[in-house]
Structure 1
Amino acid sequence: MGTNTREPSIEIISHRGASGHRPEHTLGSYELGARFGGDFIEVDLVATSDGALVARHDPEIGGTTDVADRPEFAGRETSRIIDGAEITGWFVEDFTLAELKTLRATERLPHVRPENTAHDGEYEIPTLAEIIELAKELTAELGRPIGVYPETKHPAYHRSIGLALEPLLETELDENGLRGPEPEVPVYLQSFEADSLRALADVGVARVFLLGGEEHFRPYLTPEGLADVATFADAIGPAKDLVISRDTDGNLTEPTSLVDDAHEAGLLVHPFTFRSENRFLPTNFRSGGDPNAYGGFAAEYEAFFEVGVDGVFTDHSRHAFLARELFERGE
């Protein structure tokens, strides 16, 4: 591992689709992300009670579907401990795929993206198989590869309840022609858990180790730690602040050595997550007083492109595409 052979370029990874413009993890969001210039459809995977892989940000779906308004499912509200945190709500693993398909997606951040709520109730919860089919259709229509970038969400938790994600994912990829060195559409597999990526070694596609800012990720940020990552992954997906830090006022400061160190280890670097609203931007790139208005997002992309990142996770694929165009033209 650690010797990824993909052509060097800046990949645009549509984070949960065009989630700045449509409710996340819906076929409408994924399609729009690709049409806006995204190279990959980024998917968070969780499992239903009957072993179907579906796209939701977390097993709990009270905040991203209309399940709370469905009286037939009122009795399924419960509490679970996931990765040490107690969460109350409705959980995908308590629903069959058929039951889940009766629900409709809703906007996860209505206070930030109120325009997206106009699409509440419009979309079903998609399966991984449906997403792969969409990627193939868009690849044929747009005349350029549209890849898939699935994440195993809380894989240790899923194993603990008898719904291990890795075998399910491996089967889906196999059945859809996405295994081995020449999949029908490009594929990255991603996870915050190293054991999950190790379990997917036999799939034969690129794997990405996600790195958050939590203390337990710190050992991986050294040259020695990155050399270890290169034994089970082809890329890292670090939180943005691990690439370029912010000061106490939230201003973007100087790059760390992470990109250079990762490249030295043979790893690509795909930081997350770029969002165009002022509230998410570095303080020195914000514009005006409305936290939900777009700020100077192009300047943030440029700063990261200059550091040498190989891709970006973004909620606004069109903005990333335009920023990449400007950067590549030297403007």
Structure 2
Amino acid sequence: MPPRRALCFAVLLAATACMRPALQPVPTDRPIIIAHRGASGHRPEHTVAAYTLAVEMGADFIEPDLVSTKDGVLVARHENEIGGTTDVASKFPERRTRKVVDGDTMTGWFTEDFTLAELRMLRARERLSFRSHAYDGQFPIPTFDEVLALADSLGRARGRVVGVYPETKHPSYHRAIGLPLEPALLASLRARGLDRRDAPVYIQSFEDGNLRALRGQTRVRLVYLVSERALTPARLRDIATFADGVGVNQRLVVAPDSAAVPSRVIRDAHDAGLKVHVWTLRSEPVFLAARYGGDPVAEVREMVRLGVDGIFGDFPDVVARGLDLAPTRR
């Protein structure tokens, strides 16, 4: 192509890009909806189908838990042990082994023993016996890069930003076996221009060590996941030195008994300058406190009244109803 024509073509492309309508940003006037492992109450967790359905149901963020393959690729699985969430037992029976992961002895099949090409042979299945198994064996395991591409594509199709909320699973364990999660995670975010303070991204972890290290390596917002009971104001002020928010079990916000009194966690966290995202709301009776009378929307609305900034849910459609949002699925 002649230089003059090439220049004109480049100008045309730039002008076309400028004409694209801006995507609606993630809302800031209400709690954000975080699809826990995707719409995992409706589809096998951590699959493209689960993430896609979650966005159709109104999720603001999709949550991929990240573990590593043998060849250092980040994939979305809740644990590095995948015997309960894939058909690995039937396809690689000889790979069953026993390991100690963060002090727990586990027997099963582990992602770090498989290359990405081998994991591509597997299909996801529903983990819980009382949820539908109609979709078992249909969906492959996605990589983190594929999840990022999916969020971008779904957002553009719907005219709004779709955020990603990755969790580093067992980061110390992965580092000890020579497969650290953080370098690959940050590389993927940087490749898509997401290593910035205002990116629609939160990185979460149950380990404060890797979050403290990440604080000096990225501008992305960080969330410390906690289940500890002694979440004192002093502890929250310490967390605020390396994180932007806390992800807390909803039972730390309000106990499950019928005479439950809300704790001070939300107020104390806000006083420390931290966002509060609660996990994990699930609709089945086995998970609901008795005082909700079998109505999962009531739990969502209670969390909203108490002032949370975000809600992790297996059923993002239920969270959306609790926020009085109109159905968005097309």
TM-score (norm 1): 0.88
Equivalence for 1:27 = 48
Q: Return closer, same or farther for 1:246/1:144 CA change in 2, 3 Å cut-off.
A: same
Q: Could you say which residue in structure 1 is the equivalent of 2:290?
A: 283
CA distance in 2, matches of 1:302, 1:143: 27
Root mean square deviation, CA, Å: 1.4
C-alpha distance after superposition, 1:277-311 (max 9, x if no partner): 1110001224xxxxxxxx30111111111110001
Q: Give 1:236's aligned residue.
A: 246
Please point out which of 120, 124, 128 is paired with 1:101: 120
**1:78-117: CA deviations, max 9, x gaps?**
00001111100000000000100110001011x220x2x1
1:257 aligns to 2:264 (yes or no): yes
Moved over 2 A (4+): 6-9
In 1, the alpha carbon distance for the partners of 2:137 and 2:32 equals 31
Displacement, 1:43?
Answer: 1.0
Q: Find the residue that maps to 1:209 and give its secondary structure.
A: strand
Distance 2:179 2:70 in 1: 8
Counterpart amino acid of 1:51? G
State the aligned residue count. 299
> In structure 1, what is the Cα distance between the partners aligned to 2:301 and 2:29?
17
Return the match for 2:214 from 182, 191, 200.
200
Which structure 1 residue ranges, 5 or more long, are not aligned? 1-5, 287-294
Q: How does 1:132-211 map to 2 (within 5 A)?
A: 132-183=148-199, 186-201=200-215, 202-211=217-226
The answer to whether the Cα contact below 8 Å between 1:47 and 1:163 also exists between their aligned partners in 2 is yes
Deviation digits for residues 4-32 of structure 1, max 9, x if unmatched? xx834210000000000000000000000
TM-score norm. by structure 2 comes to 0.88
Q: 1:233 to 1:268 in 2, by over 3 A?
A: same
Residues of 1 paired with 2:277 and 2:306: CA distance? 12
Give the match for residue 89 of structure 2. 68
Residues in 1 aligned to 2:66 and 2:122: alpha-carbon distance in whole angstroms: 17
Identity percentage of aligned residues: 51
Larger Rg: 2
Match of 2:276 among 269, 272, 278: 269
Q: Which residue, 87, 102, 124 being the options, matches 2:140?
A: 124
CA separation in 1, counterparts of 2:42 and 2:311? 18
Structure 2 residues not aligned, in runs of 5+: 1-26
